[in-house]
Amino acid sequence: MLLLGVAILLTIGVVLIALYRRHRALNRGIAFSVTMAIIALLIHSTVDFNLQIPANAATFMLILGLGWVVCYLPTMRTANHSQDNLRQPLSRFAKIPVFGLMFILLYLIYIAASWGMADFHIRQAFRLATNKENVEIGDLRLIQMSLSRALRLEQNNPYPLELMGTIYDWMAKIHIPHADKLAATEYQQQALTYFLKAAKQRPTNVHTWVMIAMKKKFLKQYDMIFFSALEHAATLAPWEPRVQRIIVDIGLEEWFRLPVKVQSIVIATIERGMQLQAKPMQRIIKKYKREQIVCAYIQFSFCP
């Protein structure tokens, strides 16, 4: 970032000097256009800091390159000289930065185009998933194909990773017969894999951590990731009713498998949940017959 800032400041300085020294209207117009373009991109990148960053970066490289081209526009002095006194072509060493900038520009354009195509496939998958009331197995295959194309173009995008995990979760829960437990387990494992990848890219999404905890519980994988998922979910959305119910349900069912730290998180979630949704909390507690355990930590109206 420091080097980019220095490059921008140097380019602005070069363009302003060129703007001062050039006298022809065309040359001054080019220098002025480059100056305004740099300022506009700086404002846009500051205010609209979003997925358009690759496009901003590609345009920056183009504008910065034009800024240094402006340096070679003829001044009044060079315009009056004969052809023999015109500037010599750039040396081989001087061409290296130019070709380097061109390569970086092409690479950034490729990145921006990949992001755009990935977004197209994600939107296509989302339309397939939401336009029908009852999504069939064939629709899920089409959605998977669209998401796979998006991930080939942008493999670290958490959104298609989460969607892919959700698709495998649907296939395991809805479209796989209950008797086929092996296939359901395989789909749940695939869903867990994608949710873990999504959590690595976007660890602040509470839905991803909730799904990881649920998949781990289904697969009976009671490890540090399972405990961490419960902790992250409780930390990111402590007052979300649905998240509270899931944490309490999983936590009380697997109470004796949890470390003391996670047990305290479950109790704290119950305490918050009793303020917002007392009846659902009581139902979950009675469902797993954990009244004595909960009442040992906090006294509620149903405690003896």
Quick check: is 39 in a domain? yes
Quick check: is 201 in a domain? no
pLDDT score of 86: 43
pLDDT score of 100: 72
Tokens representing 146?
């669209």
Quick check: is 275 in a domain? yes
Quick check: is 148 in a domain? no
User: Which residues of the chain, if any, have pLDDT below 50?
Assistant: 1, 49-52, 78-87
Domain boundary among 72, 87, 113: 72
pLDDT score of 84: 43
Quick check: is 257 in a domain? yes
Quick check: is 43 in a domain? yes
Domain boundary among 45, 72, 99: 72
Quick check: is 299 in a domain? yes
Residues in Cβ contact with 101 at an 8 Å cutoff, skipping those fewer than 6 apart: 61, 64, 65
Tokens representing 61?
């490289």
pTM of the full structure: 0.64
Spell out the alpha helix ranges (H) of the chain: 2-21, 25-47, 53-70, 76-80, 92-130, 137-153, 158-173, 181-201, 206-219, 224-236, 241-253, 260-276, 278-287, 291-297
Domain boundary among 72, 101, 123: 72
Residue with tokens 């959700």: 166
Note down the domain range covering 61.
12-72
When divided into structural domains, the chain yields a total of 2
Quick check: is 67 in a domain? yes
Q: Say what angle helices 181-201 and 206-219 make with each other, to 10 degrees.
A: 150
Decide if 263 contacts 293 (C-beta within 8 A): no
Three-state secondary-structure class, residue 134: coil
